Amino acid sequence: MAWPDTASPYERRSIIRGMRVRDEGGTLLGYVALLSGTHIYVRRWPFSQKWGQVPLSRVRHVTPGAVELEGTAPAERASPSLHGEITTQTLPLVDPSAAST
């Protein structure tokens, strides 16, 4: 079974952190830093403090090491609030000896 020519939601599921992001002309926009439901957040190198964002609607094709986008527009600047730690809800560990009393 061949992939469709245009962006497929199945291809988008295979986007992972560290993949190269290239525009239609082959220019490297950066590497995938974070993926949300609507955007891919990219940074130029692994420790860069400047992040860009690209809408998922621009994804044209996903290859084993790169994400190819439609058009040649650069990535928009992303909010600095994304650079921090991603918070998750984790319950504290319970001491087994304290739980038995």
Domain boundaries, the chain: 9-99
Instruction: Tell me the pLDDT of the chain averaged across its residues.
Output: 77
The answer to whether the Cα torsion of 18, 29, 63, 4 is positive or negative is positive
Q: What is the pLDDT of residue 64?
A: 83
Instruction: Give the residue-averaged pLDDT of 19-24.
Output: 93
CATH of domain 9-99: 2.30.30.240
Most confident range (mean pLDDT) of 10-14, 36-40, 82-86 is 36-40
